[in-house]
Chain A
Amino acid sequence: MLYRLSFATALVCASVCLSACDEKLSSLGGPTPNLEPTFASIQRDVFETTDSSGRTACVTCHTNTGRAPSGGLNLNHDTAYDQLVNAGSVERAGAKRVLPGDSASSYLYQKLIGASGIVGRRMPQNGPPYLSDGQILIIQRWIDIGAPRN
């Protein structure tokens, strides 16, 4: 009886352990702890919000509200997705801003990491601070899973 009880207890403990183990996405997000690899989250936490590290919101410059959007990219709420996904870059001919499933070839990603070959400066333009490695990893994941409109 004692063995069976011990075995059942061990099974319950094991089940809890198995289901609970994961790394915290929030610890990667750093100054944007709620950032997830979804478009809605990236729009809210990166494009539209200046975070606690001092990294400025993208819509500070990439907006058509009261000005011409920098680089021809308007990241306002209703237009951002169509301006990014499968949209051609104005800065570099032939490049897609976001090529679904291929972050390395996506010009947005290249601009965020400051890759060699970009035109102009690494984004955000007034950085540092830039997006943290964790924040960039989350955006990279959104692109790599197909850049869904979620």
Chain B
Amino acid sequence: MLLAGPSPARAQDDDAAALKLAEPDFTLIALPTSLRLPPLKGAFRVTHRFTRPLNDDFGDVAGDLFGLDTGATIGLEYRFGVIPNGQIGFHRTSNKTIELFSQYRVLPQNRALVDVSAYFSIEGTNNFKDSYSPTVGAIISRSFGDFVGVYVEPMWVNNTNQLPKALVDHNDTFMVGVGARVRVLPTVYLVAEAAPRPSGYKPGITQGSFAIEKRAGGHTFQLNFSNSFGTTMAQIARGGPLDKDWFLGFNISRKFF
């Protein structure tokens, strides 16, 4: 039933400003979606990843309000539509990493089985003064009616190893982000994603996250659980801590159109 019948989303596929019920936001949890941004319009997002592990004594965890009483890695993001199907943006995390990114839809789902977007980003630590890591990749997605969106995102991230090339076996990471968003109620979604790394530099554990989110007009409020704090591509490629802890976090995004 989910797959059958025309939907408002497909009928309005050429209108980037139209609400896509199966793809209401520009990110899943940390990975990008293929949602387009109309030219000269913008969107803002704030991310929080609390650093207090949840898999601890429940009383202690509850006493810290599941991490809210502790520090967090905070990200601020703004993206802007520059051309039809093309957007650019920046994302800064509180560990002073700045990521500049761009995304361009190459192929729409109504002309192929999937929607394909090209993705490019470069990030630098120390307020974009050190350790630059560029990413080239693709966002391949398919929406099923107004209820489900699935994503496969092969990404190559260079300079993920923070040692010089001369001292390491691998200086880059090839990862394949996978994720899905399911609309379980008219404005409520369940989201999950992971970023396995088939080759290259892969310290720590594969980043994985799941979330529940609520869409309210142009806002999306998401409560998420992750085994890492990464919100930029190189951070995701470096994986999470080996302790296999889980952390609470949230995303809030706002579309300005």
Contact = CB atoms under 8 A, between A and B. Distances in A.
Contacts of B162: 23
A122 interface: no
Interface residues of A, number: 18
A10 B83 contact: no
A17 B132 contact: yes
B134 A17 contact: yes
A6 B122 CA distance: 17
B46 to A, nearest CB: 27
Given A6-B83, A10-B120, A14-B134, A21 B158 contact: yes
Given A17-B132, A21-B132, A21-B158, A137 B166 contact: no
Interface residues of B, number: 18
Given A6-B83, A10-B102, A10-B120, A21 B133 contact: yes
Contact of A25 (B122, B132, B159, B167): B167
B167 A137 contact: yes
B205 interface: no
A138 B167 contact: yes
B167 A141 contact: yes
Interface in B117-143: 120, 122, 131-134, 136
B113 interface: no
B96 interface: no
Contacts, number: 46
A93 interface: no
A24 interface: yes
B184 interface: no
Interface string A129-146: 000000001100100000
Interface in A111-127: none
A17 B102 CA distance: 14
B166 A141 contact: yes
A14 B122 CA distance: 9
A36 interface: yes
B235 interface: no
B159 A21 contact: yes
A3 B164 contact: no
A78 interface: no
Interface string B149-171: 00000000011001111110001
B167 to A, nearest CB: 5
B145 to A, nearest CB: 32
A18 interface: yes
Interface string B83-96: 10000000000000
B132 A3 contact: no
Given A17-B132, A21-B134, A28 B164 contact: yes
A31 interface: no
30 contacts: A6-B83, A14-B134, A14-B136, A17-B122, A17-B132, A17-B134, A18-B134, A18-B136, A20-B132, A21-B122, A21-B132, A21-B133, A21-B134, A21-B158, A21-B159, A22-B164, A22-B165, A22-B171, A23-B131, A23-B162, A23-B165, A25-B167, A28-B163, A28-B167, A36-B166, A37-B166, A137-B163, A137-B167, A138-B166, A141-B167
Given A14-B120, A21-B133, A21-B134, 16 more contacts: A10-B102, A14-B134, A14-B136, A18-B136, A22-B165, A22-B171, A23-B131, A23-B162, A23-B163, A24-B164, A28-B163, A28-B164, A36-B166, A37-B166, A37-B167, A137-B167
